[in-house]
Structure formats: C-alpha cells, structure tokens
Amino acid sequence: MLSGLRRHARRLLLAAGLAVLALPLAAGAQAPVAGVDYIEIADGAPFAAQAGRIEVAEVFGYTCPHCASFEPHLVAWARTLPDDVELVRIPAPFGGHWMPYARAYYAAQAQGLAERTHGAMFDAIHQAGTLPASGVSDAQLADFYAARGGDRDRLLADLRSPDTAAKLRQAREFLVHSEVDGTPSLVVNGRYKVTGRTIADILRITDALIERERAAGR
C-alpha cells in the first residue's frame, strides 16, 4: 500500500515537472506576431511619457458603441496592472460628432472630473440616452459635469479654452503618427498599435507587449 502511494506521488511530481517545463513553450506559442497582432510604429513615443512607467494609451470616442462595450473589460483589466504600467485615455478628435466629446473630456480633466465620470458619460449616451450621440451642445455637456460636481461656468470656458485646443492638437498628432484610424485602439508605449480581433485577444496581446517593453528596460 505504501509503495503504491509512493509510486503515485512520483507520478504526480513528474507530471508537475512536465507541466512547468511546458509553460515557456505555451507562452512562446502565444507570442504576438508583427503585422498580425500588432503594428510597430516607426519612431514611436508615448503620448505622455513618465519615467519608469510603461504607457498603454487607449484611443476612444464617447459616441463609439464599440468603445462603450470595451470599457468595462478595460476597467477590469486595468485593475490588474502592476505599478509600472499607466493607462492613459486619449479622446479621438476625428471631427464631426466626435469633437464635442473630445473637448468635453479635456475640459473635465481640467477639473479632475474626467476619470470618475468616464463610465457615466458612456452610460448617458448609450444606455440612458440623456445625451445625444450627435449634435450635443456645450450647455448639455456643462450640465452633465455640473451634476457630478463640476463648476458649470468653468466647464463652459474650458470647452473652448486654448489649453483644451492644445491637448486636442497633441492627441491628433499622436493618432496621425501612430496611424490610429478607429476606436477603441490600444497603443503600447507609443511603439505598438494592437490589432487583435476580439477583446480577450486585444488584452492578451497588450499584456505580452507590456512584458516585451519591460524586458527591454523601456
């Protein structure tokens, strides 16, 4: 009986050892492929570089239904990020109905409201329907943020301020250089534009590229 238990224990240890040896192979099989899983950005740089941090920039649009669907998955994923990774939001200033909401993000950011109202903005457009996807006015945007603790008059001013205009130019330049033409898009450290097909795939590829940047000491 005892010898049988010992043989069983040895088999378990052998199986465990083989499983450990197989891990690098499994990880290698999942390594992202250039031109399939990501596009390398020539002379790429982070949008808002911070020393010792790896940036993951999300290019989004509040009126984009795909961004609204992606948001809860991105939030859950972001909670698992190590301390050396920074998620940076970039509202896409594509023009048309995109632009008022891109301005709104930066106006809210000036008051420290952008992050804590981010999900509520998606909900207002795509769930509650209290804000229109197209044709939103400055007054409607100011009312939205004022109801969540913002200074309404300051928001109206910030929507059209030179500082907001400068941030929109910076966002536009980043998108052009990164060849981002759709949302949601993730860009890792300004060097890689992720091109996965599913949400799970996108986040898996992003994790792998983060590890690549960490290993390279960037």
Residues 23-75 pLDDT 10s: 333 344 479 999 999 999 999 999 999 999 999 999 999 999 999 999 999 99
Phi, psi of 188 (to 5 degrees): -95, 115
pTM for the model stands at 0.85
At residue 55, the 3 state secondary structure works out as strand
CA angle 48, 92, 189 (to 5 degrees): 30
